[in-house]
């Protein structure tokens, strides 16, 4: 029994170590990788920590709360879905903005120049039902 487990483990490790070539409709594809400064990234904001966080303006007034982060189908820039207005979850409205409009300062999420009223005036956002 021990030999069978070892043989299975070796076969799995060998399969994982073998490079794989992917053909898409008969055409080989390559992926270009980019090196990332992992030390710098480790101090960044994780999406799981950003979602649910308050968003403030430069006067430290809370203007909304991060409901979600969406990556568009193009896969390029992420967007942030903010919950604005309302009180205790009643009357809230969802709006969506490019994530690049948010800044991080002193471990806070800041949207310079934002006001509650300006965000409430944006078109409502609704999630597509997938």
Domain boundaries, the chain: 45-120
Q: Which CATH class is domain 45-120?
A: mainly beta
* Residue 8 pLDDT exceeds 60: no
Residue 14 confidence (pLDDT): 43
* Distance (Å, whole) CA 16 – CA 119: 49
In this prediction, residues 39-46 reach a mean pLDDT of 86
Alpha-helical runs (H) found in 34-76: 38-42, 47-50
The band of 9, judged by pLDDT with boundaries at 50, 70 and 90, is: very low
| pTM confidence score | 0.69
């Amino acid at each position: 029994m021990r030999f069978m487990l070892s043989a299975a483990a070796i076969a799995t490790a060998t399969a994982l170590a073998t490079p794989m070539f992917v053909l898409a409709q008969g055409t080989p594809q390559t992926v270009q990788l980019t090196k990332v400064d992992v030390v710098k990234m480790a101090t960044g904001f994780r999406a799981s920590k950003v979602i649910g966080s308050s968003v403030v303006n430069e006067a430290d007034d809370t203007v909304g709360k991060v409901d979600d982060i969406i990556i568009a189908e193009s896969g390029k820039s992420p967007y942030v879905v903010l919950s604005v207005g309302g009180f205790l979850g009643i009357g809230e409205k969802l709006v969506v903005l490019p994530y690049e409009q948010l800044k991080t300062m002193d471990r806070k999420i800041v949207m310079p120049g934002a006001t509650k009223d300006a965000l409430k005036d944006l078109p409502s956002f609704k999630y597509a039902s997938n």
